[in-house]
């Protein structure tokens, strides 16, 4: 009996290990690998990640942009982390930027974005799994009112961050860090699935401060990105059974066709991940929520202990 128990435990261990190994993760998630990309003899860039200095802006723009990232030995695990810093550029402040795609650099910085190039392996991360959430360890030292933004999208084809249409986005995870975090701290947020498509790529956009209002000197440390896979998975409720829509200055939430009997939490967030509405919802009633948020595209999240659902929503 003892040996059978040991054999069973070993079998379970290897089964779980094989499943875990099969789950996709970001490339170089702990920033342990670095490479010379020809920027400066003393400047390395993390493998599979890029920043403003390797943007598509051309030699003239890339030459005047100061280095905004550094290899740091202040790490949550392993030998290294990455340190991002916002810097002054002429009359602008270039926010610390990091992506696993490519940066589209522009002046003014409000016209810049990060994007996947699906035809060039250096500028994309293939990804077809469906993780439940995203985790990262970070420290943050803002100047002024800077907020650090971390956004990850699962998508098909070529995509960019930010994109007001989100046409080929499959899921999105947002982390905002609005205040100082002086010790290594883990942030974990769910992926909000916008449709039932299978993704092709994973794209990160990481920014210290908003392009329009960034403050020079803000510093963000990042380490150990991880996609988390739980048992709960994507909900099985039919999309047509969930009715969430705007009517003038009211948000209507109608879940009575789902047959749910447990209260769930509703959040409505903008494309930067800011929570605009947060409210418990009784699925056996039609909820009407007064709101004065402006016209635009938003994402709503509904979740309980056994259910979660997210979708793009438009207010006209």
Tell me the three-class secondary structure of the chain, residue by residue.
CHHHHHHHHHHHHHHHHHHHHHCCCCCCCCCCCEEEEEEECCEEEECCCECHHHCCCCHHHHHHCCCCEEEECCCCCCCCEEEEECEEECCEEECCEEECCEEECCCCHHHCEEECCCCCHHHCCECCCCCCEEEEEEEEECCCCCCEEEEEEEECCCCEECCCCCCCEEEEEEEEECCCEEEEEEEEEECEECCCCCCCEEEEEEEECCCCCCCCCCEEEEEEEEEECCCCCCCCCCHHHCEEEEECCEEEEECHHHCCCCCEEEEEECCCCCEEEEEEECCCCEEEEECCCCCEEEEEEEECCCCEEEEEEEEC
Q: What proportion of the chain, given as a percentage, has pLDDT over 90? A: 44
Residue 233: predicted pLDDT: 44
Residue 239: predicted pLDDT: 53
The predicted-structure confidence for 195-224, as pLDDT tens digits, reads as follows 889 999 999 999 987 766 788 899 999 999
CATH number of 239-315: 2.60.40.3080
Q: At residue 315, does pLDDT exceed 70? A: yes
Instruction: Over range 294-301, report the average pLDDT.
Output: 85
Q: Which segment of 157-161, 186-190, 277-281 scores lowest on mean pLDDT?
A: 186-190
User: Which ranges in the chain are annotated with CATH 2.60.40.3080?
Assistant: 239-315
Residue 238: predicted pLDDT: 53
Q: At residue 1, does pLDDT exceed 50? A: no
The predicted-structure confidence for 4-48, as pLDDT tens digits, reads as follows 433 333 333 333 333 344 689 999 999 999 998 877 766 788 999
Q: Which two tokens stand for residue 281?
A: 């919802």
If one compares 110 and 58, the residue with the highest pLDDT of the two is 58
User: Which ranges in the chain are annotated with CATH 2.60.120.890?
Assistant: 25-228
Instruction: Over range 47-53, report the average pLDDT.
Output: 91
Instruction: Over range 235-258, report the average pLDDT.
Output: 79
The predicted-structure confidence for 81-96, as pLDDT tens digits, reads as follows 999 998 887 777 878 8
pLDDT band at 303 (very low <50, low <70, confident <90, very high): confident
25-228 has CATH 1.10.3080.10 classification: no
Instruction: Over range 280-304, report the average pLDDT.
Output: 88
């Amino acid at each position: 009996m003892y040996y059978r128990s040991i054999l069973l435990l070993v079998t379970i261990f290897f089964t779980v290990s094989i499943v875990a190994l099969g789950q996709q993760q970001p490339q170089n998630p702990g920033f342990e690998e670095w490479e010379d990309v020809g920027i400066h003899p003393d400047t390395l860039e993390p493998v599979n990640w890029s920043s403003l200095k390797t943007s598509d802006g051309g030699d003239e723009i890339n030459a005047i942009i100061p280095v905004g990232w550094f290899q740091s030995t202040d790490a949550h695990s392993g030998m290294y982390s990455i340190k991002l810093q916002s810097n002054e550029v002429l009359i602008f402040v270039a926010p610390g930027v990091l992506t696993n795609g490519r940066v589209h650099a522009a002046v003014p910085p409000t016209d810049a974005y990060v994007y996947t190039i699906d035809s060039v392996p250096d500028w994309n991360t293939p990804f077809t799994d469906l993780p439940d959430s995203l985790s990262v360890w970070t420290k943050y030292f803002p100047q002024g009112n800077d907020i650090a933004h971390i956004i990850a999208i699962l998508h098909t084809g070529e995509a960019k961050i930010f994109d007001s249409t989100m046409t080929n986005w499959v899921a999105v995870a947002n982390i905002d860090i609005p205040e100082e975090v002086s010790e290594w701290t883990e942030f974990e947020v769910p992926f909000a699935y916008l449709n039932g498509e299978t993704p092709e790529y994973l794209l990160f956009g990481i920014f210290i401060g908003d392009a329009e209002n960034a403050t020079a000197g803000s510093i963000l440390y990042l380490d150990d990105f991880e996609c988390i896979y739980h048992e709960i998975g994507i909900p099985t409720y039919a999309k047509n059974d969930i009715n969430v829509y705007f009517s003038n200055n009211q948000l209507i939430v109608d879940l009575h066709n789902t047959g749910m009997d447990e209260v769930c939490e509703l959040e409505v967030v903008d494309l930067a991940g800011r929570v605009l509405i947060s409210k418990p919802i009784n699925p056996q009633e039609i909820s009407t929520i007064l709101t004065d948020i402006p016209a635009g595209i938003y994402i709503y999240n509904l979740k309980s202990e056994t259910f979660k659902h997210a979708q793009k929503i438009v207010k006209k």
